A = this chain, B = another copy of it.
Amino acid sequence: MKALEEKILAEGEVLPGNILKVGSFLNHQIDVDFVMEMGREIARLFDGAGVNKVLTIETSGIAVAMAAAAALHVPMVFAKKHQTGNLSGGLYTAVVHSYTHGTDYHVVVSRDYLRPQDRLLLVDDFLANGRALEGLLSIAEQAGASVAGAACAIEKGFQHGGDALRQKGLRVESLAIVESMSENGLTFRRQ
């Protein structure tokens, strides 16, 4: 998505530790009109794939997932990072390693909201080593749901999580794939 590459070049900041800061439009301040456009692009890519539900992880996946679900006119479920008192009944759980924070965390989804007949689109803001998507795939498998694919806003191609998932047969669509980045600039993979 050319407009996203241009937005990253205009507003993104490369920070130490391979962090691409896009807080001005994607995960702290949200450029909602733009993210809704990203959602329409994701819906276009997965048109006809039979998706009936979008699955993401809190927090920063929610905006993109919401936009994709709005364009697909399907509900969205987000995996929660902590078990709260509000989650009654059984839970699907997975452990995810956070690249940004260097820690493991648990994510949970209530069994009430994923069913074997669901056909899921996994959505997240970033795809780096793929750990978050692997957690969502595990949850989908526990639910017996099928997975139409995964859609991410920004993939860090140089961390190869997306390529590994594609090699396993998962359809992965990223709206922009950063092939290299440093304080001197960014390059994108041609798609």
User: Which residues in A have some Cβ–Cβ distance to B below 8 Å?
Assistant: 13, 15, 17, 19, 21, 23-25, 27-33, 35-36, 54, 58-59, 62-63, 66-67, 69-70, 73-78, 80, 84-88, 100-101, 109-110, 112-113
**B85, A23: Cβ atoms under 8 Å?**
no
A17-B85, A59-B59 given as contacts; is B100 within 8 A of A30 (CB)? Answer: no
Q: How many copies does the complex hold?
A: 2
**A15, B77: Cβ atoms under 8 Å?**
no
In this complex, which of A62, A86, A112 has the most chain B Cβ atoms within 10 angstroms of its Cβ? A86
A70-B36, A85-B19 given as contacts; is B113 within 8 A of A29 (CB)? Answer: yes
A63-B66, A113-B23 given as contacts; is B85 within 8 A of A30 (CB)? Answer: no
**B30, A76: Cβ atoms under 8 Å?**
yes
Which B residues touch A58, using CB under 8 A?
Answer: 58-59
State A165–B33 Cα separation when bound (angstroms): 30
